Amino acid sequence: MVVSGPSGTGKTTLCRKLCEEGEAIFSVSCTTRAPRPGEVDGKDYFFLTEDDFVARIGRGEFFEHANVHGRRYGTLKSYVTDNLKRGIDVLMDIDVQGAVQVRACDDALVQRCLTQVFVLPPSLDELNARLSGRGTESAEAVALRMKNAADEVEHWPRYDYALVSGSREEDYARFKSILVEQRMRVPLAV
Ligand code: 5GP
């Protein structure tokens, strides 16, 4: 399952919760951005240097990678294909550029079970309030994320599901129901 949406919509929290309940594996991405307070290397992200990230691109380790808000982010092939082969669902919290690459990939297993969810903020004003209230980014970083959000939301019609964020409880119930429904689809079950 690919989950995209502007920074601050709560998509990472939704993915994490579903994985904590044992429903799926969270694909831990690599990034060149600095860890936020409380973030753990290997759990939230693999925090890499620019040189290490570029070397991994060269070795073909990424399933997809992109530059987001001025930093590099990438999904490791090992997380996606190894888990899917074992029958484990994988959640990828990735941006719209990454989703384009996943859609275009030639992995038959990924194509067969790919589900794409776009999490939309109730409004850009509310998104601004949530991002600023989070207190994890500088005012400059919040401004950049808000600027990018306006472009990102244009992508929602390319996804299978659009989830307009409301309360945390509502969002989670809707989000989980997408996974549950997808698992019952006949082409996947046979
Ligand atoms: P943050 O810095 O807030 O953790 O993430 C910023 C943005 O990068 C989010 O939209 C998130 O979905 C995206 N992102 C995180 N990991 C990846 C990845 O592996 N690939 C891509 N393309 N985007 C990612």
Give domain limits for the chain: 2-184
Q: State the Rg of the chain over Cα.
A: 16
**CA–centroid distance, residue 68 to ligand 1 (Å):** 7
Q: Are strands 62-68 and 45-47 parallel, antiparallel or unpaired?
A: unpaired
94 in contact with ligand 1, CB cutoff 6 A: yes
Domain 2-184 class in CATH: alpha beta
Q: For residue 179, is pLDDT > 80? A: yes
Q: Is the CB of 62 under 6 A from ligand 1?
A: no
Mean pLDDT for the chain overall: 94
Residues 6+ apart with CB under 8 A from 160: 115, 116, 117
pLDDT greater than 70 at residue 86: yes
This prediction has a pTM of 0.93
How far apart, in whole angstroms, are the C-alpha atoms of residue 65 and residue 73?
Answer: 6
Q: What is the pLDDT of residue 190?
A: 59
What pLDDT digit, counting tens, does each position of 67-85 carry? 998 999 999 998 899 999 9
Beta-bridge partners for 92: 2
Q: Given a cut of 80, is residue 91 above it in pLDDT?
A: yes
**What is the Å distance from ligand 1's center to 57 Cα?**
17
- At 36, is the secondary structure helix, strand, or coil? coil
- Under the banding of pLDDT at 50, 70 and 90, the label for residue 189 is low
Ordered alpha helix ranges (H), 10-138 = 11-20, 50-58, 77, 83-85, 96-103, 108-113, 124-134
pLDDT above 90 for 103: yes
